[in-house]
């Protein structure tokens, strides 16, 4: 696991080794164990290594036999041992036992198709001295990030944006045309970022830079459009168990101590259950929030009892930490700095303290349950299509004459929103789990000059491209595809990577593998969300090995008391930031709208999520744009 960066092109000599060192220093937290540099022939590569495998010999950059092909690599290749055997039979010679060296030999053997043979998580840069070609590659599902910019016939790339910004030729400008996307989703979908002319390489893609031109091509896609013959529940369950069990086994390979993030829910309990068979006693980690001032149910801020019960059952060495509200105010700028873009997902907060707790116990590699909800339908929003279908089966005259008027007359806004959503096609109403501001709210929030700039395009065409890809599939399948292509890489995995690596910890995600996603794309959606049971087929797959108190427990979202904090301990802090002259004078927002939002006598979680997004954006702007 590493942080990588570099540049190739006309400005390589101008930027020089000093600039490469500055970029590496900016991402030192990703790999504080070793620094490696390649600088010659118009190319500069750097690596900050977090040593997990082959601790002595796996120093990057790594080269092939004749030193014509070089690579720096961030991630883990889980099938490297099988690939190594195949490449040895083809006559390749290795000088390390690291997974990194597989990359240069695969490129030697298969050229630009090399990434198709990899199973794992990766951000890769390859320099071919002979053809003077740079290759960048990002893993199938976007577990590892990779950013780039092109300036003066020079491409500059890095694992993190902040390293790019350290180059004198890279301008730090707000990409204001993406603000509509940001306020809609709380992240920027697609190739663009919040910074002008800084781009993400999309998951499952490679980039080729040759003759000062960029060419991008896709090497993998989720196979949703393939036709599958329906099988029995036992068939699906047995295969899912086998794939996940083998995935966990692969991810337990390490030359350093491992641990597990344990929430006490189904996903992390599966990881602990399988790991305990293979690894023996393993360390597990959980966090919760200190009891807020405002009286609330304990489950709204603390679910440690579930993690404790699971840890005790499997005999793990369990560690816990209680997060205090004042800590969050003190550390929020650190969290935002590491996220780089104003990603307004409050789950970054517990992950920050969870990662810190893990680091204090000497763990460098952690297993976590990210991705299971997006692959097996673990959110209640996936039930909405069924509810709408049932509602539409009620005779139209009853709906129009009796039910709709009654629901619209109620003070509860959810019912009104439900009526509105029943009349909107899925492709227009579903914008993922993190949807924050609606269109009319964005236009009320932003000033008129900004609205004129964003109104012609509104949401990025990439969103519509994704939604149209499987428009003929059932609604739940379409929603899962959207979340696997957009929500998962842009929010869940970005947050997981940036925050864990902020503490020099490699996060491994056994549910997010090419093999599992390919198999589950052929599992009927009615077995993922069956009746009112989310992740039904995953529960069935592990029902014979998990105790009932785990696999029968309903899913709870991780309790993050943002609403409680904003109404309590955070109230003055939020108002001071959002209504400050510095914020208002910048001219992005309508002050009256923000005041109205803050002064609501009773705010729903939906509104406090909006306030949190505005707070994160303003703090990020002060930090990165001044």
pLDDT digits (tens, 9 = 90+) for 371-412: 999 999 999 889 888 888 888 888 877 877 887 777 777 665
Inter-residue contact 241 to 542 (CB < 8 Å) = yes
Q: What is the DSSP string of 65-99?
A: TTS-EEEEEEEEETTHHHHHHHHHHTT---S--SS
Mean pLDDT of the region 338-345: 95
Spatial distance between the Cα atoms of 231 and 494, rounded to a whole number of angstroms: 35
Instruction: Give yes or no for a contact between 253 and 229, defined as CB atoms under 8 angstroms apart.
Output: no
Q: What is the pLDDT of residues 567-602, one digit of tens each?
A: 777 788 889 999 999 999 988 999 999 999 998 876
- Phi, psi angles (nearest 5°) of residue 298: -60, -35
Encoded tokens for 430 = 């579903």
Q: Where does the pLDDT of residue 418 fall: very low under 50, low under 70, confident under 90, or very high at 90 and above?
A: confident
Alpha-carbon Rg for the chain in angstroms: 24
Provide the 10 A C-beta neighbour count for residue 417. 12
Instruction: Report pLDDT digits (tens) over 518-565.
Output: 999 999 999 999 988 999 999 999 999 999 988 887 766 655 667 777
CA distance 482 to 495: 18
| First-residue to last-residue Cα distance in the chain | 32
Asked if the domains at 2-218 and 245-377+493-551 fall in one CATH topology, the answer is: no
For the structural domain made of 245-377+493-551, what CATH number should be given?
3.40.50.620
Q: Report the C-alpha gap between 340 and 138 in whole angstroms.
A: 19
Report the alpha-carbon distance of residue 284 to residue 114 in Å, rounded.
Answer: 36
Cα 620 to chain centroid distance, Å, stands at 19
Distance CA 288, CA 559 (A): 8
Query: Residue range 310-339: average pLDDT?
Result: 93
Least confident interval from 86-95, 105-114, 444-453: 444-453
With 70 as the cut, is the pLDDT of residue 53 above it? no
> What pLDDT does residue 469 have?
80
Residue 60 scores a pLDDT above 90: no
pTM of the model: 0.93
Range 2-218: architecture per CATH: 4-Layer Sandwich (3.60)
Residue 11 contacts by C-beta under 8 Å, 6 or more apart in sequence? 151, 152, 153, 154, 169
Give me the pLDDT at residue 559, please: 57
Handedness of CA 338, 340, 342, 344 (dihedral sign): negative
Among 227-236, 255-264, 444-453, 500-509, the minimum mean pLDDT is found in 444-453
- Note the pLDDT tens digit of each residue in 180-198: 889 989 999 999 999 999 9
Supply the residues annotated as catalytic. 5
Instruction: Enumerate residues 6+ apart whose C-beta is below 8 A from 73.
Output: 2, 4, 47, 60, 62, 100, 103, 122, 123, 124, 125
Point out which residues pair with 210 in neighbouring strands: 213
Mean pLDDT of 237-248: 97
> What are the residue boundaries of the structural domains of the chain, listed by start?
2-218, 245-377+493-551
Size (the chain), residues: 626
Q: For residues 133 and 433, what is the distance between their CA atoms, to the nearest angstrom?
A: 39
Q: What is the mean pLDDT of residues 426-451?
A: 83
Q: Edge to edge, what strands does the sheet with 317-323 contain?
A: 317-323, 283-289, 258-261, 365-367, 506-508
Mean pLDDT of 102-113: 96
Find the range with the poorest average confidence among 53-62, 74-83, 350-359, 525-534: 53-62
- Gap between the Cα atoms of 229 and 427, Å rounded: 26
Chain mean pLDDT for the chain: 89
CA 132, CA 459: separation in Å to the nearest integer?
A: 37
Range in 416-420, 422-426, 572-576 with the lowest mean pLDDT? 416-420
């Amino acid at each position: 696991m590493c942080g990588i960066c570099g540049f190739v092109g006309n400005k390589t000599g101008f930027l020089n080794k000093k600039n490469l060192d500055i970029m590496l220093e900016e991402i030192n937290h990703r790999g504080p164990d070793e620094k490696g540099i390649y600088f010659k022939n118009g190319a500069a590569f750097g690596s900050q290594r977090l040593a997990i495998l082959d601790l002595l010999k796996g120093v990057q950059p790594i080269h092939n036999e004749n030193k014509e092909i070089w690579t720096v690599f961030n991630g883990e290749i889980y099938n490297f041992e099988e690939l190594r055997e195949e490449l040895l039979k083809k006559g390749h010679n290795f000088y390390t036992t690291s997974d990194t060296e597989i990359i240069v030999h695969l490129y030697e053997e298969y050229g630009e198709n090399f990434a198709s043979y990899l199973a794992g998580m990766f951000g890769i840069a390859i320099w071919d001295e002979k053809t003077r070609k740079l290759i960048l590659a990002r893993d199938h599902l976007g577990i590892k990030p990779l950013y780039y910019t092109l300036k003066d016939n020079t491409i500059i790339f890095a694992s993190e944006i902040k390293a790019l910004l350290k180059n004198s030729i890279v301008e730090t400008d707000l990409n204001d045309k993406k603000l509509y996307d940001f306020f809609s989703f709380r992240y920027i979908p697609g190739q663009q970022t919040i910074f002008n002319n800084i781009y993400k390489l999309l998951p499952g893609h490679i980039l080729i830079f040759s003759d000062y031109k960029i060419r991008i091509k896709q090497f993998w896609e989720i196979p949703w459009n393939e036709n599958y013959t329906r099988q029995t529940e036992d068939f699906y369950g047995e295969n899912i168990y086998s794939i996940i069990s083998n995935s966990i086994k692969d991810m337990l390979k390490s030359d350093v101590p491992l641990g597990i993030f344990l929430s006490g829910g189904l996903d992390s309990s599966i990881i602990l259950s399988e790991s305990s068979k293979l690894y023996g006693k393993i360390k597990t980690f959980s966090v919760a929030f200190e009891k807020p001032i405002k009286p609330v149910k304990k489950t709204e801020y603390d679910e440690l009892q579930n993690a404790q019960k699971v840890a005790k059952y499997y005999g793990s060495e369990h560690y816990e930490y209680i997060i205090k509200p004042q800590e969050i105010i003190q550390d929020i700028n650190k969290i935002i700095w590491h996220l780089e873009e104003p990603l307004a997902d409050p789950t970054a907060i517990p992950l920050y303290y969870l990662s810190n707790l893990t680091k204090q116990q000497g763990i460098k590699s952690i297993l976590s349950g990210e991705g299971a909800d997006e692959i097996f339908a673990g959110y209640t929003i996936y039930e909405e299509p069924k509810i709408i279908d049932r509602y539409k089966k009620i005779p139209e005259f009853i709906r129009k004459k009796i039910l709709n008027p009654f629901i619209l007359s109620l003070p509860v806004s959810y019912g009104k929103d439900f009526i509105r959503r029943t009349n909107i096609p899925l492709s227009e109403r579903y914008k993922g789990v993190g949807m924050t501001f609606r269109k009319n709210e964005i236009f009320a929030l932003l000033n008129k000059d900004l609205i004129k700039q964003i109104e012609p395009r509104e949401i990025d065409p990439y969103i519509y491209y994704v939604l149209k890809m499987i428009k003929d599939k059932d609604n739940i399948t379409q929603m899962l595809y959207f979340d696997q292509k957009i929500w998962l890489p842009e929010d869940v995995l970005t947050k997981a990577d940036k925050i864990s690596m902020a503490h020099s910890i490699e996060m491994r995600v056994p549910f997010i593998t090419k093999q599992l996603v390919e198999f589950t794309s052929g599992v009927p959606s009615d077995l993922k969300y069956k009746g009112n049971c989310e992740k039904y087929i995953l529960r069935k797959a592990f029902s014979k090995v998990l105790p009932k108190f785990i696999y029968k427990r309903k899913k709870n979202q991780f309790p993050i008391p943002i609403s409680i904090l904003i109404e309590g301990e955070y109230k003055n802090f939020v108002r001071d930031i959002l209504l400050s002259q510095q914020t208002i004078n910048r001219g992005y927002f309508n002050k009256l709208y923000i005041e109205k939002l803050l002064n609501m006598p009773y705010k729903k979680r939906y509104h406090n999520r909006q306030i949190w997004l505005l707070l994160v954006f303003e703090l990020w702007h002060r930090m990165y744009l001044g």
